[in-house]
Amino acid sequence: MNNTRRMLAAVCILAASFAGGGLSHWLLSAGEARAQEAGHPKYVRATDLYIVDKNTETVRSVINVSDDGTMSFTVRDKNGRSRFTLESNRASGHPELKLLDANGRTRAKLVTLSDGRPVMHLLGESGRSAVQLSVEGAPRIALTDKSGAVRADLSLDAGGSASLTIYDAGGKELWKAPPPPEAIAAADSAEDY
């Protein structure tokens, strides 16, 4: 009888194993089939989303919302270094697009000001804006020195007339072309004598 009981126990264990395996397969595959029949979910709710390289598991992209409510989207290179970010500016909430070099320094930035005007900054080695391109009613390009002071300004007025102004380090106008109308009038009156 002892052998009969052992045999019966072994058969019961084997039958239970097959039944459990079959049941779990049916439940899991049925759930997968139901998910496929329902289509894609309408939304995914998360505070952070990391997209990783399928071969190396290196994080290649991050979407997150920080504790202060700032939303950001970052794209990283194959080594995991941030190279591109799109975020809402922490202070103003306006969108800001940044291109970063291999050392993580911002080298180009596109922002919108509170009045909606776009401004593009090309940054030098110091991290300060070296070239600014903006639209203030008309296009403007400003070149800045290492301290951030505008030294040259090329712009169009609302009528489409171009001007170029050169400044010293303190912001004093050194030269302008074409000269302001009052300077032209003064030169004309000096020629009359």
Architecture of domain 44-113: Alpha-Beta Complex (3.90)
Short-list 135, 90, 91, 127, CA closest to 109: 127
Q: What is the pLDDT of residues 68-127, one digit of tens each?
A: 878 899 999 999 999 999 998 777 778 899 999 999 999 999 998 888 888 999 998 888
CATH of region 117-193, choose from 3.90.930.1, 3.40.1280.10, 3.30.390.50, 3.90.25.10: 3.90.930.1
pLDDT value of position 153: 94
Higher-confidence residue of 75 and 191: namely 75
Domains 44-113 and 117-193 share a fold: yes
Q: Are 165 and 150 in contact (CB under 8 A)?
A: no
Cβ within 8 Å of residue 145, ≥6 positions away? 151, 169
**Residue 136 vs residue 163, higher pLDDT:** 163
Distance separating alpha carbons of residues 7 and 14, to the nearest angstrom: 11
**Residue 141 CB neighbours (<10 A):** 15
Instruction: Number of helices (H) and strands (E) in the chain: give both, helices first.
Output: 2, 12
Q: Look up residue 69 and give its two tokens.
A: 């409510």
DSSP 37: H
Peptide bond into 178 cis (omega under 30): yes
Question: 72-104 burial, b for 16+ CB within 10 Å, e for fewer?
Answer: bebebeeeeebbebebbeeeeeeebebebeeee
pLDDT digits (tens, 9 = 90+) for 2-55: 656 666 555 556 555 555 555 455 545 555 445 455 566 777 788 889 999 989
Which ranges of the chain would DSSP assign to H, the alpha helix? Answer: 2-38, 181-191
Residue ranges of domains in the chain: 1-40, 44-113, 117-193
Contact indicator for 109, 92 with CB cutoff of 8 Å: no
